[in-house]
């Protein structure tokens, strides 16, 4: 599909049309203003624009840039523009700056990708104090509801719905990373059910999103780098690339919008057709410093369960200079294997993995320098100042530091012969960190350096699977998805809470990137009280929660019974054979609202359907107040086609063959007890 792009010389506005959707931006009072995004025919002129120009720029300014100590708003005039197939470039100029705004249209998935470059054309340096990355305007005359994600460590991605009005909603992070409290993602629903605007900021540093409707004018959504404490020096002839953003509008409901965003994310994933292995991770069975004997035992368990990769998590390392008063937690930075724990180095572990036909993975926190590490002792100028503990963050925006970190990562991968790298980041950076010598903003430089380093590692080790982590979901966003293979979703161990987190996280992140593990089994084994929100669910319930994304196991298997191994191995097998390809590439439908973290509610139901509509996976979880059966409506299938229903539990459904129309009307699913579950495969067999 090709987008029709029209320039209106009279109003100095650009209009784009595809299907039943239209989008408009235009220049008003020396600012580029977002004017409309939504149904064609719902465009309305701004009311009282002259009286509320400043507010309109704040809410809907497409190139809102402030410079200098006095934080002056830059005025723009049109320098030029050009359009080709599904792309529009607008160039704006001021006395000393040029802004190049690029809009890439993806009409097949109803999305616009937006990027901005600011160039200094003057003779002296310019200090940028704020710069927005995008703005969206939704038509006035309609009532809207903002959907966003709130949370904290261990309770990420809780869905919040807020009426859109004159009181602004601010979403943000100032932790030097995406953060736990909010996610740089939004969806704004029309309350009459006709459409949804949605989007994401492609950024993993400090950021903000603002949503507000001013009087009778359009709803404004804008976002970019967080302006608090921000400063970026632009030298003559230098350019600064703002974080990109992606936003879209779909007719219909939220699930439609999520399909489009996930399509975009999967389209930009590295090695997108490569399946993510089922992993066994060493962390939760023996938190801290597991020794070689215990790790070798876990490798045996991983093979017995049918896992495909064994990942050695934190605690295996030490520093060249050991301080006896320091715990293993802070001995990061030198990445030397602790010979007290592993007298044979990596040799026995990787050899055992190969014997068991398992790939091998290793945990690193490349940006973290402990107090006794070489960097902390000899290269403090490479470091940000940490806000907690005694560790520092190496600034990847410093080229020399990034090269050194790359060499350390490469050395460990080659020494261990790792096929999988779990890259963690457990430190927050003080607001905007320590300024760099060239005037670059340190967190912006660090974030760009992070993306560059991730790309360099993937290029050097093309078979490596790169899993990102930040104490769980602390650095999880669309840009991280574009640079890695999967992401550790949360440090939460409780399956019921994780079920809730999946229903939030998978709004903003495609399922293949939501990496979860079966952890809390045996049921009452102590995995750390600070994680727990209560213990609910039998082993099947807990395993199936972990199977909602990329699947792994990190459990005290040395305490398991034979029956436990049999149950989980069966699930691993069916995940690999039947489920993984659907979750990794298909459309997701959340058929119930997000369950509460404590399990209070009736049922939680999620449906994943392959792109060709030939196979799907239905997950049903009965909660604390649920009846023993639930009518589940299954969307997306062909009315007249015949489908076979294959339950993993014989009791789950009575009818085993239905046409698409019957499935769309609802089938009765049974779960015999509270906190039990049903897992159904549905396959097209005729039509």
Joined tokens for residue 210: 């603002």
Please list, in sequence order, all residues whose beta carbon lies within 8 angstroms of the beta carbon of residue 566, skipping any fewer than 6 positions away. Answer: none
pLDDT digits (tens, 9 = 90+) for 360-381: 999 999 999 999 999 999 999 9
User: When comparing pLDDT for 659 and 527, which is higher?
Assistant: 659
Which of these ranges, 64-73, 279-288, 383-392, has the smallest mean pLDDT? 383-392
Residues 50 and 29 reside in one and the same domain: yes
**Residue 637 counted as domain residue:** no
Q: Work out how many domains the chain is built from and give that number.
A: 2
CA–chain centroid gap for 144, Å, is 25
pLDDT digits (tens, 9 = 90+) for 471-501: 999 999 999 999 999 999 999 999 999 999 9
CA gap 653, 544 in Å, rounded: 17
pLDDT for res 42: 82
**Residue 685 counted as domain residue:** no
**Residue 407 counted as domain residue:** no
The candidate with the shortest Cα–Cα distance to 504, out of 534, 473, 536, 480, is 473
Directed axis angle between helix 292-305 and helix 347-355, to 10°?
Answer: 20
Angle at 579 between CA 573 and CA 585, to 5 degrees: 140
Residue whose tokens read 């704006």: 92
Per the CB < 8 A criterion, the answer to whether 117 and 100 are in contact is: yes
Q: Looking at 424, 477, 516, 587, which residue is catalytic?
A: 424
**Residue 198 counted as domain residue:** yes
3-class SS of residue 94 = coil
Mean pLDDT of the chain: 94
- pLDDT category at 530 given cuts 50, 70, 90 is very low
Residues 241 and 347 reside in one and the same domain: no
Which of these ranges, 275-279, 383-387, 550-554, has the smallest mean pLDDT? 383-387
pLDDT for res 57: 66
pLDDT for res 56: 61
Task: Evaluate the CA torsion angle 56, 59, 60, 65 in order and state its sign.
Answer: positive
For position 564, which CATH number holds?
3.20.20.70
pLDDT for res 536: 85
Neighbours of 53 (CB within 10 A): 16
Which of 241, 268, 295 is at the close of a domain? 268
Residues 71 and 200 reside in one and the same domain: yes
Residues 86 and 235 reside in one and the same domain: yes
Which of 524, 553, 581 is at the close of a domain? 581
CA gap 628, 305 in Å, rounded: 31
| Torsion, Cα of 162, 167, 168, 173 (10° steps) | -70
Residues 354 and 217 reside in one and the same domain: no
Which of these ranges, 35-49, 204-218, 288-302, 561-575, has the smallest mean pLDDT? 35-49
pLDDT for res 534: 56
Per the CB < 8 A criterion, the answer to whether 394 and 373 are in contact is: no
Neighbours of 439 (CB within 10 A): 15
pLDDT for res 59: 76
pLDDT for res 51: 47
Give the burial string for 484-509 (b: 16+ CB within 10 Å, else e).
bbbbbbbbbbbbbbbbbbbbbbbbbb
Residue 526: burial class (beta carbons within 10 Å; 0-12, 13-18, 19+): exposed
**Residue 138 counted as domain residue:** yes
Residues 155 and 301 reside in one and the same domain: no
Which of 536, 563, 581 is at the close of a domain? 581
CA gap 129, 232 in Å, rounded: 7
Residues 209 and 260 reside in one and the same domain: yes
> For the residues 249-265, what does the mean pLDDT come to?
97
Q: How many Cα neighbours within 13 Å face the side chain of 186?
A: 30
Joined tokens for residue 310: 């064994």
- pLDDT category at 60 given cuts 50, 70, 90 is confident
Per the CB < 8 A criterion, the answer to whether 205 and 242 are in contact is: no
pLDDT for res 53: 55
Residue whose tokens read 């049922």: 603
What size, in residues, is the chain?
A: 687
Which of these ranges, 237-246, 344-353, 514-523, 543-552, has the smallest mean pLDDT? 514-523
Domain around 514: 279-366+412-427+461-581
pLDDT for res 671: 96
Which of these ranges, 521-530, 544-553, 635-644, has the smallest mean pLDDT? 521-530
Residues 175 and 130 reside in one and the same domain: yes
**Residue 621 counted as domain residue:** no
**Residue 432 counted as domain residue:** no
Backbone angles phi, psi at 499, to 5 degrees: -60, -45
- pLDDT category at 608 given cuts 50, 70, 90 is very high
Residues 108 and 214 reside in one and the same domain: yes
Please list, in sequence order, all residues whose beta carbon lies within 8 angstroms of the beta carbon of residue 309, skipping any fewer than 6 positions away. Answer: 277, 278, 279, 280, 358, 359, 360, 361, 419, 420, 465
Beta strands in 217-367 (DSSP E): 219-225, 232-234, 239-241, 244-251, 279-281, 309-312, 317-318, 336-337, 359-364
Q: Is the pLDDT of residue 619 over 80?
A: yes
Residues 97 and 65 reside in one and the same domain: yes
pLDDT for res 287: 85
Q: Is the pLDDT of residue 33 over 80?
A: yes
For position 29, which CATH number holds?
2.70.98.60
Q: DSSP string of 431-460?
A: TT-SPPTTS--HHHHHHHHHHHHHHHHHHH
Q: DSSP string of 403-424?
A: HHHHHHHHHHHHHHT-SEEEE-
Report the share of the chain in percent with pLDDT over 70.
95
Residues 233 and 94 reside in one and the same domain: yes
DSSP-assigned beta bridge partners for residue 514 = 487
Is the omega angle on the peptide bond into residue 522 within 30 degrees of 0, that is, cis? yes
The C-alpha R_g of the chain, in whole angstroms, comes to 26
424 labelled catalytic:
yes
**Residue 319 counted as domain residue:** yes
- pLDDT category at 650 given cuts 50, 70, 90 is confident
CA gap 521, 15 in Å, rounded: 57
pLDDT digits (tens, 9 = 90+) for 127-140: 999 999 999 999 98
Q: Is the pLDDT of residue 529 over 70?
A: no
pLDDT for res 573: 99
CA gap 650, 672 in Å, rounded: 11
Q: Looking at 110, 277, 313, 491, which residue is catalytic?
A: 491
Residues 230 and 342 reside in one and the same domain: no
The candidate with the shortest Cα–Cα distance to 321, out of 367, 383, 272, 372, is 372
The candidate with the shortest Cα–Cα distance to 249, out of 142, 98, 353, 125, is 142
> For the residues 254-269, what does the mean pLDDT come to?
98
Which pTM does this prediction carry? 0.95
């Amino acid at each position: 599909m090709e987008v029709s792009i029209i320039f209106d010389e009279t109003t100095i506005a650009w209009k784009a049309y595809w299907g039943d959707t239209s989008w408009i931006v235009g220049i008003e009072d020396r600012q580029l203003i977002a004017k409309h995004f939504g149904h064609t025919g719902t465009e309305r002129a701004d009311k009282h624009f002259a009286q509320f120009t400043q507010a309109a720029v704040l809410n809907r300014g497409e190139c809102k840039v402030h410079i200098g100590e006095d934080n002056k708003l830059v005025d723009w005039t049109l320098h030029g523009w050009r359009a080709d197939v599904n792309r529009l470039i607008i160039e704006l100029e001021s006395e000393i700056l040029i802004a190049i705004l690029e809009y890439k249209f993806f009409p097949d998935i109803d999305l616009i990708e937006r990027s901005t470059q600011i160039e200094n054309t003057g003779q002296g340096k310019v200090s940028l104090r704020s710069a927005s990355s995008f703005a969206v305007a939704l038509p006035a005359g309609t009532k809207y509801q903002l959907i966003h994600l709130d949370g904290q460590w261990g309770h990420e991605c809780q869905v919040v719905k807020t009426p859109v009005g004159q009181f602004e909603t601010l979403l943000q992070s100032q932790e030097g990373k995406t953060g736990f409290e909010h996610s740089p993602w939004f969806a704004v629903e029309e309350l009459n059910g006709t459409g949804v605007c949605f989007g994401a900021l492609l950024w993993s540093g400090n950021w903000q999103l603002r949503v507000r409707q001013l009087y009778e004018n359009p709803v404004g959504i804008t976002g970019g780098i967080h302006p608090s404490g921000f400063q970026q020096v632009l030298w003559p002839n230098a350019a600064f690339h703002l974080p990109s953003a992606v936003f879209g509008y779909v007719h219909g409901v939220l699930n439609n919008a999520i399909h489009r965003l996930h399509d975009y994310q999967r389209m930009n994933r590295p090695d997108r057709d490569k399946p993510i292995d089922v992993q066994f991770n060493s962390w939760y069975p023996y938190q801290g410093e597991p020794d070689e004997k215990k790790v070798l035992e876990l490798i045996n368990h991983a093979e017995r369960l049918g896992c495909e990769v064994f990942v050695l998590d934190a605690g295996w390392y030490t520093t060249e200079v050991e301080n006896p008063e320091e715990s293993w937690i802070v001995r990061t930075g030198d990445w030397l294997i602790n010979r007290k724990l592993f007298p044979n180095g990596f040799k026995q572990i990787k050899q055992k993995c190969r014997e068991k036909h398992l790939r091998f993975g290793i945990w690193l926190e490349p940006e973290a320098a402990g107090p006794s590490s070489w960097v902390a002792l000899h290269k403090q100028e490479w470091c940000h100042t940490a806000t907690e503990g005694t560790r520092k963050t190496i600034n990847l925006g410093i080229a020399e530091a990034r090269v050194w970190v790359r060499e350390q990562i490469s050395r460990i991968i080659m020494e261990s012969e790792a096929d999988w790298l779990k890259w963690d980041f457990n430190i927050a950076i003080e607001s905007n960190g320590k300024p760099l010598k060239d005037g670059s903003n340190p967190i912006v430089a660090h974030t760009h350096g992070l993306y560059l380093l991730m790309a360099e590692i993937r290029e050097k080790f093309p078979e490596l699977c790169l899993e990102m982590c930040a104490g769980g979901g602390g650095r999880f966003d669309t840009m991280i998805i574009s640079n890695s293979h999967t992401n550790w979703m949360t440090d939460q161990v409780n399956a019921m809470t994780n079920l809730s987190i999946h229903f939030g996280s998978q709004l903003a992140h495609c399922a293949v990137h939501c990496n979860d593990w079966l952890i809390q089994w045996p049921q009452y084994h102590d995995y750390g009280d600070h994680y727990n929100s209560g213990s609910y669910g039998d082993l099947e319930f807990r395993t199936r929660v972990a199977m909602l994304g990329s699947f792994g196991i990190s459990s005290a298997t040395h305490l398991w019974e034979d029956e436990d191994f049999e149950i989980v191995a069966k699930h691993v097998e069916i995940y690999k054979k039947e489920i993984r390809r659907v979750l990794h590439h298909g459309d997701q439908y959340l058929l119930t609202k997000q369950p509460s973290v404590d399990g209070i509610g009736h049922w939680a139901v999620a449906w994943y359907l392959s792109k060709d509509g030939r196979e799907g996976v239905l997950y049903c979880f009965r909660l604390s107040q649920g009846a023993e059966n639930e009518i589940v409506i299954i969307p997306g299938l062909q009315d007249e086609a015949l489908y076979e229903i294959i339950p993993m539990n014989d009791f789950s459904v009575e009818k085993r063959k239905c046409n698409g129309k019957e499935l769309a009307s609802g089938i009765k699913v049974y779960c015999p007890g509270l906190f039990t579950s049903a897992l159904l495969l549905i396959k097209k067999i005729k039509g």
